[in-house]
Amino acid sequence: MMPRNAAIVGGGHADWGHREATWKDLAQEAGKATFDDVDGLTPDDVEGLFVGAVQPERFAFQSHVAPLAAELLGIDVTKMISRTELACASGQAALRYAWLAIAAGQLDVALVLGVEKMNLGDEYMAETQASMTNVLDREFDGVNGLNAPSFFSMFAQRHMHEYGTTHEQLARVSVKNKNHAANNPYAQFQTEVDVDDVLDSYPVAPPLCLLDCSGITDGAAGLLLVSEEKARELTDTAAYVTGSGQSCMAGNSINNLPSFSGWPQATQAAEEAYDQAGIDDPVDELDVAEIHDCFSISEIIEYEDLGWVEKGEGGQFAEDGRGELDGDIAVNPRGGLLGCGHPLGATGVSQALEIYKQFTGEVESARQVPDSPETGLIHNLSGSGSVHSVMTLARDPQ
């Protein structure tokens, strides 16, 4: 059987932030927003359901969440149903499996849903932070209190040490993304900030400060992914998956990570995706990218390791504004994780949906990428950065 093309034809979000709502509430809100967004598809049309969710067992004391979501959204799954867990990349992983199922001819219409409930009330932040540390090897690394801010801070420190990257350059990333989020109605952080705000914020995990960090976020996002045949029946503008790569270099615990100032896994995953999509020069050929800015330093390293600039020049890329809406590649027009927050399982789904919305021109005008973008990329890292996942999207399938 020949692989078939698959495309995003719409989707929607729950509001993100500290929500007075349960996991199940969030799933329903995103499901409703998704079906409201897509004319011509209802829950009855969905044959496959793919749910990205990282820790419902801990945050919501609930397992087997995919059939729970199917029931809540009225989806009679006839072909394929599963939940994916790949820490911060769970949403993209769910999307990837949906794509593969459609490509393999197993089904024509899939709902990809990402849901995470992370805020358990201020008095239980320690539980949430514990659940973030056990994403690392708990026995040898999580036990040392390495939550995400302190872990990624060491990448910031090493990158500064090895390449002379400055905190001002990092702050440029936070400013760009948070200012995009200020125009995104579902984002957790909708306040504009400047470089000084970032540098003067509390050094919660030095050298990184509060405004260098994404948040602890309740949120959900859904999208409908359909076969090319179905997409052409439904709409003129869709976002086709053109390539997808993942890499994990047999290293997950601290001693076995390949680097503390770079992610060769990102390079490997991106090369795989570029190759499938026929992209030779990503800076020239990509119009918009949603990349994993869990911390400001992450985006700097990703400029380099996604192959956009030489190693060590990520800070300069930020300083030169090359990732602004009118720059070489519009990076994180959605507001990124820094601005939207990061409900783990929902993030990758939301990023992919943003690429679609940028193609159709449906986003708020203040964060619309100019000149009708036609090609896009999403990237997520997960856990200790041990895995990187990259997917390319385009308005036209090849």
Query: Is the CB of 162 or the CB of 192 nearer to other proteins?
Result: 162
CA triple 48-53-58, angle to 5 deg: 140
**Of the candidates 7, 223, 9, which has an alpha carbon nearest to the alpha carbon of residue 103?**
7
385 binds other proteins (CB under 8 A): no
234 binds other proteins (CB under 8 A): no
Residue among 167, 342, 379, 388 flagged as catalytic: 342
143 binds other proteins (CB under 8 A): yes
Of the residues 43, 67, 203, 397, which one makes contact with other proteins according to CB under 8 A: 203
Of the residues 14, 86, 110, 216, which one makes contact with ligand COA according to CB under 6 A: 216
Q: Which of residues 79-118 bind ligand COA (CB under 6 A)?
A: 88
Pairing of strands 288-290, 375-382: parallel
Q: Which of residues 265-304 bind ligand COA (CB under 6 A)?
A: 294
How far is 30 from 321, CA to CA, in rounded Å? 33
Bond into 185 cis (ω within 30):
no
> Does residue 293 contact residue 177 with C-beta atoms inside 8 Å?
yes
Residue indicated by tokens 């959605």? 334
From residue 70, alpha-carbon distances to 25, 51, 111, 124, 234 in Å are: 13, 10, 10, 29, 23
Of the residues 120, 195, 210, 283, which one makes contact with ligand COA according to CB under 6 A: 210
Q: Which one of the spans 12-20, 123-131, 170-178, 294-302 is the region binding other proteins (CB under 8 A)?
A: 123-131
Of the residues 59, 151, 163, 263, which one makes contact with other proteins according to CB under 8 A: 151
Orientation angle between helical segments 167-181 and 296-305, nearest 10 degrees: 100
Q: Is 248 a catalytic residue?
A: no
> Does residue 128 contact residue 120 with C-beta atoms inside 8 Å?
yes
Query: Is the CB of 1 or the CB of 250 nearer to other proteins?
Result: 250
Q: Which of residues 341-360 bind ligand COA (CB under 6 A)?
A: 342
214 binds ligand COA (CB under 6 A): yes
CB of residue 154 to other proteins, shortest distance in Å: 4
Using CB under 6 A as the criterion, what x/- string covers residues 136-175 for binding ligand COA?
------------xx--------------------------
Query: Is the CB of 260 or the CB of 272 nearer to other proteins?
Result: 260
Q: Is 88 a catalytic residue?
A: yes
Contacts of 264 (CB under 8 A, 6+ apart): 247, 249, 258, 305
Residue indicated by tokens 């509060």? 210
How far is 243 from 245, CA to CA, in rounded Å? 7
- Give the catalytic positions in this structure: 88, 342
**Interacting residue ranges for other proteins, rule: CB under 8 A:** 125-127, 129-130, 132-133, 137-147, 149-151, 153-155, 157-158, 161, 202-208, 210, 250, 253-256, 260
